[in-house]
């Protein structure tokens, strides 16, 4: 929605956002064939840039034109300004898909289908703090994972890693996070 896009543009102008590469991306991206990668809701491109440096041809999708403008000009990076609510992924296109700090359950099936055989999915985002006091989390349940959700929905992938943990965000607030890594089984 246009309104949400403007809200994200404003957040990027006014709030600190993570700029380092998530540990899980650094650890598991090298397991993928260095072919085509997708960064879902790429933001200002912390993972897009890192993966392009590793040699991946990156599709970087986000609807914030402000965030996309921060991506460097690079033949290995394709900026795609699109609303993921209605963006269709091409089946069998990617060796690696990264989805960090973003949740759109509508995309679960198409993410799995968009992986090539033996392609790797790295998925990390906020986990429901289940009403526990002292935790910050996105206001809508649509944007927070349930405990155990990712291994369940991506059960057809070979699981390589799963954890649920507590972290402190850049504003010093406690958050819960879940991380799943899986590999699509060979045909
Ligand atoms: C918390 S940021 C995460 C950015 C990046 N994945 C990272 O981990 O640094 C969430 C991103 O999702 C994007 N976003 C939210 N809803 C979207 C939608 N419907 N379509 C495309 N992008 C969206 C925002 O513009 C923002 O860049």
Q: Any idea what the CATH number is for the domain that residue 23 is in?
A: 3.40.50.150
Q: Is the CB of 12 under 6 A from ligand 1?
A: no
Buried (b) or exposed (e) across 120-143, using 16+ Cβ within 10 A? bbbbbbbbbbeeeeebebeeeeeb
- φ/ψ (deg, to 5) at 182: -145, 160
Could you report the per-residue pLDDT of 2-20, keeping only the tens digit for each?
Answer: 679 999 999 999 988 999 9
Classify burial at 40, counting beta carbons within 10 Å of its beta carbon; exposed 0-12, middle 13-18, buried 19 or more.
buried
Indicate the number of domains in the chain. 1
Q: Where residue 158 falls among pLDDT bands split at 50, 70, 90?
A: very high
Which of 102, 126, 139, 177 best tests ligand 1's pocket when mutated (most atoms within 8 Å of CB)?
102
Classify burial at 114, counting beta carbons within 10 Å of its beta carbon; exposed 0-12, middle 13-18, buried 19 or more.
buried
Token couple for 158? 């070979």
Q: What is the mean pLDDT of residues 131-143?
A: 87
Domain holding 56, by residue range, is 2-183
Q: Which atom of ligand 1 is nearest to the CA of 19?
A: 9
Residue 34, CA atoms < 13 Å, CB-side half-sphere? 9
Q: Which atom of ligand 1 is nearest to the CA of 124?
A: 8
- Give nearest CA residue, ligand 1 atom 22: 62
Q: Are 150 and 178 in contact (CB under 8 A)?
A: yes
- What local confidence, expressed as pLDDT, does residue 1 receive? 67
Could you report the per-residue pLDDT of 63-86, keeping only the tens digit for each?
Answer: 999 999 999 999 999 999 999 999
């Amino acid at each position: 929605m246009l309104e949400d896009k403007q809200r994200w543009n404003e957040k990027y102008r006014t709030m600190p956002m993570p700029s380092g590469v998530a540990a899980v991306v650094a650890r598991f991206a090298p397991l993928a064939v260095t072919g085509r990668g997708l960064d879902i809701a790429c933001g200002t491109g912390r993972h897009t840039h890192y993966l392009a440096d590793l040699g991946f041809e990156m599709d970087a999708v986000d609807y914030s034109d402000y965030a996309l403008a921060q991506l460097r000009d690079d033949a290995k990076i394709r900026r795609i300004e699109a609303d993921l609510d209605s963006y269709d992924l091409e089946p069998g296109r990617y060796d690696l898909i990264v989805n960090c700090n973003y949740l759109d359950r509508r995309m679960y099936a198409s993410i799995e289908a968009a992986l090539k055989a033996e392609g790797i999915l790295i998925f990390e985002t906020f986990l429901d703090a289940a009403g526990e006091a002292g935790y910050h989390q996105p206001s809508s349940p649509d944007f927070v994972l349930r405990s155990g959700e990712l291994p369940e929905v991506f059960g057809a992938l070979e699981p390589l890693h799963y954890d649920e943990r507590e972290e402190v965000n850049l504003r010093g607030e406690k958050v819960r996070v879940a991380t799943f890594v899986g590999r699509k089984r060979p045909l």
